[in-house]
Amino acid sequence: MPELRCPLNLTAEKQPDSAAVITPTGTTTFAELEQLVHISAINLKERGVARNSHVAVLGENSLDYYVLLLALLRIGAIFCALNHRWPKRAVKNALNSLDCPILIFTKEKTKSLGESLITEWQSKDIVPRELKKIRLRSEPVVNLDHPTAIIFTSGSCTQPKAALLSYGNFYYNAISANKFIPFTEHDRWLLSLPLCHVGGLGILFRSIIGGGAVVIPDSKQETADSINNFEISHTSFVPTQFHRLINSGQLDSLNNYPTVILGGAPAAAELIKQGLKAGFKIYTTYGLTEMASQVTIGKADNHGHSGSLLKHRQLKIADDGEILVKGKTLFLGYVENDVAELPLDDQGWFHTSDIGKIDKKGRLTFLGRKDNMLISGGENIFPEEIESYLMQLSYVESAIVVGIKDKEFGERPVAFVKCVNELGFDQFTDRLKTELGKNLPRYKIPVEFLNWPEQAVNGSLKPDRQKLSRLAQKEQQAKQP
């Protein structure tokens, strides 16, 4: 099994005094981070955590979360990432499905799950509050093939799956990403994505390998303020986050315009145009949990592509348009009943269920999800295409298109739309249809536009389409006589 020296330990030796993690309360250097991780790993071992132990961490991004994750990796335990937005029942179900007996809370006031079979710890009892200089007996090593983390897929359209990834998956993702966009000791990356997702974890690995600092902002602070206060050089956003920043009215107050990596969903051409005009250096990317984040990346332009293939990955388009991937960043499989199964075809390709195309320059364009596709009157409709045109309108902040059942056509598209001002939603309906009619055939224009359902979305960056489809169907039925 291939082994290498622990990247954190190596970076701590090369640049001990460089900032590794920056929070509103202070800066932690790489030497200090190494000590925190080492001591936390000892504390975990003393509590019985061993190699291959399943340990879950629950909480928002924080220094404690960061240290716990790295300490678990140091031991060789398997980190189970749970979303702090989940209700208790979902957390319990996840722990039971993963055979995970240990849960660590990073917030002291978090209530107990009340589950007798699960041991609950507080991060404050594991992560030291005062540093002790402990000399390492030997240089820690990591095994690239060793299972490292279980990350749940976004579940934007289906039930989330538990994806098992190796250290090597994250390592090869980070070194190729850093080669394309360097992240060195003079750089600062704003951690605007949660560490329970591969997008957030990818930033962590780029830091410990490249030597740049990860900035963990106050969750209540405006993004523009965080960029200014921490002199941010790099950011990762999903289009929704970047849209909010662009329309925050605070762009003129920025001291600098950092590099922006847009992923997680297709970005509207108008959003990219506004960002480039403002002064941001924008890169668009395509990735997925099963490939440890990025697969392609490229400089943003008006063509709507997601860039070209990164090193250590392979990609091709199947006859039906589906995106197929494989390579050193491909995950170990989906975990079910403590067994990981990797669903590949006979040629070793993983089928992403995403639809795309590759242009003459080798750049990928993501068109939509196979399982999002609607068939209306025999015509194939990808909701993402309609959403892209809606998001180009200056008065639209968010848009999600779903299908509802229809006796005549089989399915028809319905759009949930959030407008940026408070002049009233109803007046925009005719305008939305007119604007979409300039670019789309009639069968792709939503039969109805509904108000954005804040309660149903609940702050998620990737709303549950199935849930929204049921909501749209219910509203439609309520209007029928």
Q: Are 449 and 429 in contact, with CB atoms under 8 Å apart?
A: yes
Say how far apart CA 36 and CA 29 lie, in whole Å. Answer: 10
Backbone phi and psi for residue 3, each to the nearest 5 degrees, phi listed first: -125, 155
- Please count the other Cβ atoms lying within 10 Å of the Cβ belonging to residue 104: 24
Check residue 70 and give its pLDDT: 97
Check residue 424 and give its pLDDT: 59
- Please count the other Cβ atoms lying within 10 Å of the Cβ belonging to residue 73: 25
Q: 362 and 407, same structural domain?
A: no
Query: What tens-digit pLDDT sequence spans the chain (481 residues)?
Result: 589 999 999 999 999 999 999 999 999 999 999 999 999 999 999 999 999 999 999 999 999 999 999 999 999 999 999 988 888 888 998 998 898 999 999 987 788 888 888 999 999 999 998 877 766 667 899 999 999 999 998 644 456 799 999 999 999 999 999 999 999 999 999 999 999 999 999 999 999 999 999 999 998 899 999 999 999 999 999 887 898 899 888 998 999 999 999 998 778 787 898 999 999 999 999 999 999 999 999 999 877 789 999 999 999 999 999 999 999 999 999 998 778 999 999 999 999 999 999 999 999 999 888 888 888 888 888 898 898 888 888 788 788 999 999 888 888 999 999 887 655 566 678 888 888 988 888 999 999 999 888 765 655 666 778 888 899 898 888 777 6
**pLDDT tens for each residue of 133-178:** 766 667 899 999 999 999 998 644 456 799 999 999 999 999 999 9
CATH code for the domain in which residue 394 is found:
3.30.300.30
Torsion angle of C-alpha atoms 143, 144, 148, 151, degrees rounded to 10 = 180
* Residue among 322, 372, 371, 373 at smallest CA distance from 350: 322
Check residue 259 and give its pLDDT: 97
Q: 464 and 353, same structural domain?
A: no
Check residue 156 and give its pLDDT: 44
Q: Are 342 and 332 in contact, with CB atoms under 8 Å apart?
A: yes
For 91, the domain range is 3-366
* Residue among 44, 75, 69 at smallest CA distance from 57: 69
- Across the beta sheet with 364-369, the strand order is 313-317, 322-327, 350-358, 364-369
Domain count, the chain: 2
Using DSSP's 3-state secondary structure scheme, residue 42 falls into helix
Q: 307 and 238, same structural domain?
A: yes
Q: 246 and 126, same structural domain?
A: yes
Rounded (10°) angle between helices 167-180 and 198-210 = 70
Check residue 459 and give its pLDDT: 56
Torsion angle of C-alpha atoms 303, 305, 311, 316, degrees rounded to 10 = -120
374-376 vs 379-381, strand pairing mode: antiparallel
**pLDDT tens for each residue of 356-366:** 999 999 999 99
Q: Are 210 and 184 in contact, with CB atoms under 8 Å apart?
A: yes
Check residue 157 and give its pLDDT: 44
Q: Which of 318, 346, 366 is the last residue of a domain?
A: 366
Q: 361 and 309, same structural domain?
A: yes
Q: Which of 366, 390, 411 is the last residue of a domain?
A: 366
Determine the Cα angle at 192 with ends 207 and 236, to 5°: 70
339-341 vs 313-317, strand pairing mode: unpaired
User: At 142, which amino acid appears?
Assistant: V
Q: Which of 341, 366, 391 is the last residue of a domain?
A: 366
Burial tier of 30 (Cβ tally within 10 Å: 0-12, 13-18, 19+): buried
Q: Are 78 and 147 in contact, with CB atoms under 8 Å apart?
A: yes
